[in-house]
Amino acid sequence: MIVFVRHGQTAANRERLALGRADPPLTELGRVQAMAVASRIAPTLPAIVLTSPLLRARETADAIGDASGAPVRVDARLVELDYGEWDGLRFSEMPPDALARWRSDPTFAPPGGEALRAVTARIAGFCDEHAEGPTVVAVSHVSPIKAAVAWALGAGEEIAWRMFLDLASITRITAVDGRASLLGFNDTSHLP
């Protein structure tokens, strides 16, 4: 089983900015969220905590590792989608025609960025590797977690635009005999 955790809050999240490969730390609230999700996950005794290389995810993963005693290791496949020139913008500041194309075409990439199709491919490999083994925690970001949900449901990338994923939320997927399942999505019951 893979227990996906979205990282805690950063200042860019608080300001509702697109946050791709920029690398800000957690806010004070983000640290509180990381501790809350860590307390929720610790009793499940994960075998390992895998994390995106970005600081906000690593800080969240370290809290989970400390609480559970599981080792923490970086897995670059969990990194957020690269927003390129759109990193740090509000969606309302993005060119409307390009934004519409992005939402309808999974091969479209923001200028200097990455297409959702590329995120789907790397996350599919991650899920293929970990969904049928012991419990693994994967600390990541909104786009990779939505791609994992699409993988579990056998759905196309366009489904990502119809999902909302909270900060410090838990999403669980598994596979049995090669058949993937979504066990839970956007669970925030552990947050104050």
| Contact predicate 120/106, CB 8 Å | yes
Structure tokens at 67: 């609480």
Helices (H), 42-141: 55-68, 96-104, 116-130
Structure tokens at 3: 């227990």
Query: 């789907």: which residue's tokens?
Result: 120
Contacts for 14-17: CB closer than 8 Å, 24+ residues apart: 16/90, 17/88, 17/89, 17/90
Of the candidates 53, 82, 19, 77, the residue with the CA atom closest to the CA atom of residue 9 = 19
The residues assigned a catalytic role are: 7, 80
